[in-house]
Structure 1
Amino acid sequence: MKSGKRAAFILLVLMSVFLLQGTPMVWKWMYPIKYQQEILTAAIKYNVDPYLVLAVIRSESGFKTDRVSKKGAVGLMQIMPDTAEWIVTQAKFQPKDEQYLYDPVMNIEIGTWYLNFLLNRYEGDLIKVVAAYNAGPGKVNGWLTTEQWSGHRETIEDIPFGETRQYVQRVLYYHDRYKRIYDFQLR
């Protein structure tokens, strides 16, 4: 075996040993947190599960503040500018400048406020909240009204939009993963 292949094999074996043992260090390396204090502050302020905020950020932007989607969603929590304007008005936020969605603190604050709004609208139903965060409450309400989707975790496969179906699965996966790895002490 050549030295490059041998090194790769040894690295693979070591990683397998760490993963099989469930070493917290390895899991935290695989599922890092950026902006932890900002997330916790907003989660407490708006009574939102911080693991949900983390899962949304990880799914939406991978913790990249400058990310802009093809549809125009901006920042860590990938907020559409029109939705952001509505939230700023509703919540009476005072953005510093026009580029406020690129500011991690403001983006987390706006996105977490919106998650709280959706949690209230859907009576705490995490599955419907995540679907509405992606597709919009109008679409989700339509699916529920026309019985295209029941809104239950067991029927995620029935969500009419493939993008939303995959998004809900991904956010729930990250939510569960972060919850297993980290232990936030919320005060």
Structure 2
Amino acid sequence: MGHAGTGGDLFVVWRDNAGDSIDEAQRDLLFSLPLDEVPTVYWKLLFPQPYWADLTANSRKNGLDPFLVASLIRQESEFNAGVVSHANAWGLMQLLPSVGKSAAKKQGIKHFDANMLLNPTTNLQLGTLNLREVMDRFGGQAEYALAAYNAGDVPVRQWIAIGDYKDIAEFVESIPYSETREYVQAILRNREIYRALYAAQ
């Protein structure tokens, strides 16, 4: 499908392929289109708001942008509350059981069990606390925190120490791990789409 295809056509390809095997050019075209050139219903299917009351309440409790949290979840689990990754990360925000246990202790949750991370309410409670802590370790800078969420603190501190970039956008572009670079870029892009779709609500 070339540029003659409509945003609606691209959405059908995206939906039918679950975003995995979609041609990169088609995906890039969809995301390069102005929001108003693709029917809002399609955008809202691609950028849903499940668990929104819990997501926003826990985000605000931890001083986080709900649209950033939603974008991270979209990237981590696509809002599949029951997913456990090959790296043993659980639930919506893909928490390791050790991270969940630490966060649960801070929240006063007794008798923590990893299966609790498959409960969306619990995962959001513990996941937003964890993300706040990651943000705090990196001075509140979302780009550093997102990179650390994906790659771990140590590599990100090494990249910051090199300091071979003029601004935060260039830092993102210069992330040497392609998976982490694309992860951060995707979440930042998705946050702007979430804001455009829902900020006025």
**Higher relative contact order, chain-length normalized (CA < 8 Å, sep 6+):** 1
Q: 1:100 aligns with which of 112, 116, 126?
A: 116
Decide whether aligned partners of structure 1 residues 148 and 78 sit closer, same or farther in structure 2, where only a CA change above 3 A counts.
Answer: farther
- 3-state SS of 2:192 partner: helix
What is the distance in 1 between the residues matched to 2:178 and 2:99?
Answer: 22
Decide whether aligned partners of structure 1 residues 48 and 176 sit closer, same or farther in structure 2, where only a CA change above 3 A counts.
Answer: same
Q: 1:156 aligns with which of 163, 168, 172?
A: 172
The 8 Å contact of residues 73 and 92 in structure 2, kept in 1 or not, is answered as yes
Decide whether aligned partners of structure 1 residues 70 and 30 sit closer, same or farther in structure 2, where only a CA change above 3 A counts.
Answer: same
What is the distance in 2 between the residues matched to 1:160 and 1:121?
Answer: 21
The 8 Å contact of residues 73 and 93 in structure 2, kept in 1 or not, is answered as yes
What residue is the counterpart of 2:186 in the other structure?
Answer: 170
What residue is the counterpart of 2:88 in the other structure?
Answer: 72
Q: Which moved more, 1:91-100 or 1:51-60?
A: 91-100
What is the distance in 2 between the residues matched to 1:151 and 1:94?
Answer: 43
Amino acid at match of 1:161: Y
What residue is the counterpart of 2:139 in the other structure?
Answer: 123
The 8 Å contact of residues 67 and 191 in structure 2, kept in 1 or not, is answered as yes
Length-normalised TM-score, structure 2 = 0.74
- 3-state SS of 2:190 partner: helix
What is the distance in 1 between the residues matched to 2:74 and 2:166?
Answer: 26
Amino acid at match of 1:166: E
Q: Which structure 2 segments of 5+ residues have no match?
A: 1-5, 13-29
What is the distance in 1 between the residues matched to 2:56 and 2:36?
Answer: 30
Identical aligned residues as a percent:
31
Whichever of the two has the greater Rg, that structure is 1
- 3-state SS of 1:99 partner: helix
* 1:113 paired to 2:124: no
Paired residues, number = 173
